[in-house]
Amino acid sequence: MQRCSIALLFFLLVLQGSSQQTQKPRLVVGIVVDQMRWDYLYRYQHRFAEDGGFKRLLQNGFNCSNSMIPYTPSYTANGHASIYTGTVPSVHGITGNNWFDLKRWQYIYCTDDSAASTIGSTTTAGKMSPVNMLSNTICDELKTATNNQAKVIGIALKDRGGILPAGHKANAAYWYDSKTGNFITSSYYMPTLPGWVQQFNEQKLIDSFYKQGWDTYYPIETYTQSTADENTYEVKTFGKGFPYILSSLAGKNYNLVMATPHGNSLTTQFSMSAVANEQLGADSITDFLAISYSSTDYAGHTFGPNAVEMEDMFIRLDLELAELLNYLDQQVGKDEYLLFLSADHGAAHNPAFMKDQRIPAGNMLPSVVVEDLNKWLQQKFDVADLVIDFINYQVILNMPLIEQKRKLSVSVVANAVVQYLLKQEAVQHAFVLADVKQAVLPGGIRQAITNGYYKNRSGHIQVVGKPQYIEGFEKGGTTHGLWNPYDTHVPLLWYGWHIAPGVSYREMYITDIAPTLAALLGIQQPKGYTGTVIQEIVTK
């Protein structure tokens, strides 16, 4: 009898342990910070609050400190799609924010959907959906694994930041209509806005944010990690410098707020409203909230990485993250949610700034590249307009025109373009994109270009600029898009449910996030995934 009792007790303990091992988080929260260079984590670490978001994630979560983007071009749409599909543009098909479709012979915006209509506004800003993304996401797999019982919601100021992560089966994706100051969605998801979204919009938080203006969180003289304010390396969107008086914009301009920390505040407030009103994480079925903080990107393009504005932006984002984490602790339960934070891309320093630091740098202006190429090709072949565009660091040839001219061939024109480009100061490599395997390139760069290539959604000739040579932004601000580490080295932090504190310096990729989530949740990987499970995360 005693043996039976001992055996039963052992069986119950084993059963309890097994039950604990199969337990799922109530909510997964994916945070993508748009245009967050990896070094911001450490450059501003002493500025982050002790009870803030970043230090909490760094100290109590797992830090994948050598996380890279494994493809080029490195843009917002590609980044969000790659993080959530677990694969690269050559598989999921999102080759840029925009691309020239060689098959349809027209420009395509990544989330354009002519069959959809705007829900929540009379503008066309809601004619969007994920139909151009060819793979599904980890959110889609969660929906399938739970027989569609899981709730999945994507939120961002940018449409692509909300739509692509949430995937094809999402309950909703919401984004910001800069003409109305409201969060909207698409008929792809629902026929009308939920009441709680309408009530949120009616608050017009943007107007109250404008009335607050934007001043530095700390005294401006303490911003020693940045170039002095009112410098020549930034665009003067709001005027000369701090403090920015924005009250005159209230009720009139709902666009400029996106380049201020208030845009991130709006995103946090809306995200918390979604958790409460949609009851995310309220039961044992795992839900997914995909958040993208877009204002960091708008500000980065405007001011550049070395601006006081960017230092202040991340100081304030740290506080936003703290508010969100504290709210999730209360609403969902501490250690009941699983969270990761990463970025879709980084950014280069402004070339003028780099030159002043005695570092080689420069610009490639797309309109000038096209104009000069067409002039040179016309002199060579006596045919005008042989180049249509220079987009995503790729040259688009005028194929119909070339095919009309009997004396021309695509290969002859393409090789001529390559010869011309290789003579230009900004260009380090140029080659026919379809022949990337034969290009004389370091293996890592070749693989990144291959991973970013999708037939009919990529150009004909690839241009690789010299380090710190960027596309445009000659008069201030900055951009991103190539293989260089300032564009492709991004943070990756894990926190919460079943995440033990630690750090790894092993090279990992943003495409590893989705398969790692699949392993943690015990669900199938996205259909096109090419990443690998991060063993340090799933091994306790």
Phi and psi based region of residue 393 (left: phi greater than 0; alpha: psi -120 to 50; beta: remaining): left
The residues pairing with 32 across neighbouring beta strands, listed in sequence order, are 292, 342
Separation CA 236–CA 257 (nearest Å): 14
DSSP state of 112: B
If 0-12 CB within 10 Å is exposed, 13-18 middle and 19+ buried, where does residue 513 land? buried
Task: Give the CA angle between residues 513, 517, 518 to the nearest 5°.
Answer: 120
Total Cβ atoms within 10 A of residue 18: 10
Strands 337-343 and 469-471: unpaired
Which positions are annotated as active-site residues? 76
- Amino acid at site 92: H
Tokens representing residue 418 in the block: 């390559």
DSSP state of 117: -
Separation CA 505–CA 283 (nearest Å): 36
* Closest C-alpha among 85, 77, 73 to residue 109: 77
Task: Compute CA distances 245 → 168, 210, 212, 214, 253, whole Å.
Answer: 41, 8, 8, 7, 13
Total Cβ atoms within 10 A of residue 379: 8
Q: Tell me the backbone φ, ψ of residue 269, rounded to 5 degrees.
A: -60, -40
Tokens representing residue 96 in the block: 């840029």
